[in-house]
Amino acid sequence: DAKTTQPPSMDCAEGRAANLPCNHSTISGNEYVYWYRQIHSQGPQYIIHGLKNNETNEMASLIITEDRKSSTLILPHATLRDTAVYYCIVRVRTGANSKLTFGKGITLSVRP
Amino acid sequence: GAGVSQSPSNKVTEKGKDVELRCDPISGHTALYWYRQSLGQGLEFLIYFQGNSAPDKSGLPSDRFSAERTGGSVSTLTIQRTQQEDSAVYLCASSGGAGYRYEQYFGPGTRLTVT
């Protein structure tokens, strides 16, 4: 899987948008960008994924640059419950190489 | 619908004992993964089942670890002769099924402590 780099931490005020960056400059054409998060003492939670188009779901938006070398996860109105470690992963979608490899992620702290 | 469930949620065992950890995937999901996460560490892949294909065991750290998936549904991870370094949270995830959803959905994990 292509390597990703994320800043170690960031904070955000409750109710404001949280923009979490990720660099993946060596991404291959068949690799998707996935975001997961892990709230303390819970299993990882899938958030969103995309290939090259921007994506939005009930949890977040994913903005992928045109060259696909970086992306941003946007939580439009962060709440205290969004405090978690967020992992950006690039991987093929199916098959034997579809196992997830999490790096250190970015710790998002949402402050009241 | 019901998510991935795992049991037990916590397990404390003595060094040298065998343990079995159970995973119930989301109904209809064809792929099942086991991972472990040591304190403050990232996810470590252990084993992957896909339908009736031979499992990918490339992540199992030693021959003390084994897993099976019966009837394409429930999976059991067995650790024989546990060691203190086996202490970790063991996570199960499943994916696939109708609509070919490949995103992995995780269970809450089993926290294993070897004393």
pLDDT of residue B37: 92
Q: Which of B33, B42, B102 sits opposite A103 (nearest CB)?
A: B42
Rounded to the nearest angstrom, the minimum Cα separation between B43 and chain A is 5
In tens, the pLDDT along A35-85 reads 999 998 889 999 999 999 999 999 999 999 999 999 999 999 999 999 999
Provide the shortest C-alpha distance from residue A48 to chain B (in Å).
9
Spell out, as residue ranges, where chain B has pLDDT lower than 50: none
Residue A93's Cβ-count burial label (10 Å; 0-12, 13-18, 19+) is middle
Distance from CA of A9 to the nearest CA of B (A): 15
Q: Which residues 74-103 of B have a C-beta within 8 angstroms of A?
A: 91, 93, 95, 100, 102-103
Minimum CA–CA partner of B110 in chain A: A43
**Helix, strand, coil % over all residues of chain B, rounded to 5:** 5, 45, 50
Amino acid in position A71: S
Q: What is the pLDDT of residue B21?
A: 98
The pLDDT value given to residue A40 = 87
What are the tokens at B67?
A: 């897993």
Answer yes or no: are the C-beta atoms of A31 and A25 closer than 8 Å: no
pLDDT in tens, A6-23: 999 999 999 999 999 999
Instruction: Reply yes or no on whether the pLDDT at A91 is more than 70.
Output: yes
pLDDT of residue B97: 63
Please report the pLDDT score of residue B96 as a whole number.
80
**Is residue A1 over pLDDT 90?**
no
pLDDT of residue B101: 59
Looking at residue B1, its pLDDT comes to: 55
